[in-house]
Structure 1
């Protein structure tokens, strides 16, 4: 009973400390609420659309004008202007009025009617990779569509029906169906992974503030006992669980991100991740001697940790030492695991490597934290 009483007392002390510290409360809970609405806002369109392009039409034929109309009808493109002079198109790009250009040569329709292959030049503004990709792919699709239509007309003249002509041109049909990121958007790709890192970093900052305050004031509230450690660990773990419930249960639904693939596996991963992050936070917090130290040390680490997780940057492109060291961070396994279970419906067996990594880190952080916890007397 004494052990249980000590654990419950530590649980209550932890929640009183969290609710009584405005900065810690902001980091533990309020920051997640603010982040969930304002961070995805710039990506709410999901995909880049209506990128302005300039068209240099030196042919001015029926086919070239059709190419211009189809460019304007493409969902990713918008015709900023049509001219016959490349210098004018270049001026539009320099002024920021266009992010790409398509040059239709003067012999475009003549070559097509003669059965020859004309050359259409397309170019994008490489300073903006996302816009450049949409421009180059979109213009290539427009030119390819016109080319396919011309080829079908030629085949149609030599075949009994249009369907046979289409089958001759494309004997194997391809239908592209996105399975998980159904809108193929940037927000659905990046936000579900980043929120896992957010839960880790805001928690570590918050617990660093609490432990730094106690150290600087000389009033560590817990007894140096295992039961007190267990109570504090359970309370801090619940903080991470509540944040996970907010993001996975409400935010993903509200923002309409891919979700609900395997709720049971996601729940198991959440519980393990929560204990792992809480154990890491307690261990790190015991080293802080001032309230501000956690902010100074941890704020700048978020971006490198995101790259190490293999989400925004392929893990195979990392130096070999970093490919191993990145597994020392809970976010590495958690990001990969949550994306697999929550978005793709993976089973626990399929994320066994991530679960094993989190379990090993949890045991290590608890052992390290408990060892330092016992050596710190109650003030």
Structure 2
């Protein structure tokens, strides 16, 4: 009973310390609310549309004008200039007024009428990968649509009806249906993974802030026993779990992201993620001697950790030593696991590696943290 009383006392002391420290309160609760509304805002449109392009028409034929009209009607493209000189399009790209260009050669219609295959030059601004992809795909779709129309006219001249011509050109119909990211949007892809990293980093900062304050002021509030450690650990883990419930339960619904695929799996991952982050935060925090040290050392780690997680960079393209390093952090297993269970509806068996990784990290961090706890915390 005394151990339970000590754990409960440490649990309450931790919550009191959080609410008394304005900076810790900001990191643990307010920052998550701010992130949840302002971070997804730039991606609210989900897909990039109306990217400016320049068109160089050196053919001046009815067919080239049709190609320009099709480009103007494409939802992803905005034709900002039509010229006869490639230098004009290049200047617009250098000035940032266009993200790509399409050059229609002078012999375009002549080759089409002769039954030959003309070539259209399409270029994009490589400095902006997302815009570059939209420009290249959009202009390629425009060229493909015009090409299909020309081919259908040729086939119609050899077949009794337009329906037969269309069937002979494309005997198999293909309809692509995205399974999970149904809108194929950037926000639905990046935000569910990034919020896991946001939770981890803000909690590590907050826990380090509290421990740094206690160390510098020599006012550590806990006793030197395992029960107090477990009480404080559970308090910090509860903070992580509450934020996870807010993001996965409310924010994803509010922003209309894919969600709720496997609630039981998400709950299991949340429990393991909460304890692994809390244990890691306490282990790191016990090495800080000043309040500011957590900010100085942890803020710069967010971007490398993001790349190590395999979300924005394919895990298969990451060198093996860096992959091992990434799995030493809770965020890597948590990001992959949460996306799989919450967005894709993966079963517990399918995320067994992520569950085992988080369980192993939580165990190691608790063992190391408890040893450090008994060494540096003076008895009351």
TM-score (norm 1): 0.98
State how far apart, in whole Å, the 2-side matches of 1:275 and 1:356 are: 13
Distance 1:96 1:212 in 2: 47
- Across the aligned residues of Structure 1 and Structure 2, the Cα RMSD in angstroms comes to 1.1
The worse-fitting range, judged by mean Cα deviation, of 8-17 and 369-378 is 369-378
Aligned length in residues: 379
Alpha-carbon distance between aligned partners in 2 of 1:194 and 1:73, rounded to the nearest angstrom = 35
Hey, what does 1:73 align to over in structure 2?
Answer: 73
Q: Is the 8 A contact 1:229 1:373 kept in 2?
A: yes
Check whether the contact 1:221–1:378 (CA below 8 A) recurs between aligned residues.
no
Alignment of 1:80-99 (within 5 A): 80-99=80-99
> Which runs of structure 2 are paired with 1:327-342 in the superposition (5 Å)?
327-342=327-342
Q: Secondary structure at the match of 1:261?
A: coil
Equivalent in the alignment of 1:106: 106
1:15 maps to: 15
What residue is the counterpart of 1:59 in the other structure? 59
**CA offset digits 1:191-238 (Å, max 9, x no partner):** 110110111110000000100000001111000111111111111110
Q: Distance in 1 between matches of 2:45 and 2:212?
A: 41
**Alignment deviations for residues 42-100 of structure 1 (CA, whole Å, 9 cap, x no partner):** 11111111011111112222211111111011111011011222222222222222111
| 1:188-337 map, 5 Å | 188-337=188-337
Secondary structure, aligned partner of 1:64 = helix
Name the CA distance, whole Å, in 2 between partners of 1:165 and 1:7. Answer: 78
Partner of 2:344: 344
Deviation at 1:374, TM superposition (A): 1.9
**Residue aligned with 1:52, SS:** strand
SS at match of 2:102: strand
Matched position secondary structure for 1:325: helix
Aligned pairs for 1:3-42 within 5 A:
3-42=3-42
Q: How much does 1:280 deviate?
A: 1.0
Q: Distance in 1 between matches of 2:307 and 2:267?
A: 25
CA distance in 2, matches of 1:81, 1:210: 58
Q: Secondary structure at the match of 1:158?
A: coil
Unaligned runs of 5+ in 2: none
Counterpart of 1:377?
Answer: 378
Specify every segment of 5 or more residues in structure 1 that has no aligned partner in the other structure, as ranges.
none
Using the TM superposition, name which of 89-98 and 57-66 deviates more: 89-98
